[in-house]
Amino acid sequence: MFVYERPVRFEEVDAADIVFYSRFLTYCHEALEALFASLPGGYPRLVLERRIGIPAVHVEIDYKSPLRFGDVARIEVTVEKLGRSSCTFRHEFSRKGDGTQVASIKHVCAVSDLSVLRAIPIPDDVRALLSQHLR
């Protein structure tokens, strides 16, 4: 399991004073960028130099409790499934401090060659990293 924490910013809440629902996907991506930081050059090198991407192909979200400006989101990232060229992430959101469960997100990605936008076998170093977080 990989843990990523980040504060909720003012511009991320809507008129109801809660995090706008689509922001959760941004938070997931931030968490994945942080997870890939342990690779040489991190996520930027993976995408910009190696031209390997992990675009989403399927997402399911269950919202349980709101996040508000000033809260800190705690995101536990695990890998539920690791295929030949795809992986399924699980992002469990809670509110840091009181531990309230906020959301659960299933995020299926296809590891892709960004030059041609086609799925490719997961590179060995990426597979090794993802394997460390298998549930």
Q: What is the pTM of this model?
A: 0.93
Looking at the DSSP assignment, which residues form a beta bridge with residue 79?
A: 89, 134
Task: Give the domain ranges of the chain.
Answer: 2-131
Q: Percent of the chain beyond pLDDT 90?
A: 99
Rounded distance between C-alpha atoms, residue 14 and residue 30, angstroms: 20
Reply yes or no on domain 2-131 having CATH 3.40.50.300. no
Q: If 0-12 CB within 10 Å is exposed, 13-18 middle and 19+ buried, where does residue 15 land?
A: exposed
In this structure, the number of other CB atoms found within 10 A of the CB of residue 98 comes to 8
Per the annotation, the verdict on 14 as an active-site residue is yes
Query: Considering the chain, what is the average pLDDT of its residues?
Result: 97
Which pLDDT band holds residue 32 (cuts at 50, 70, 90)?
very high
Out of 14, 62, 71, 124, pick the active-site residue: 14
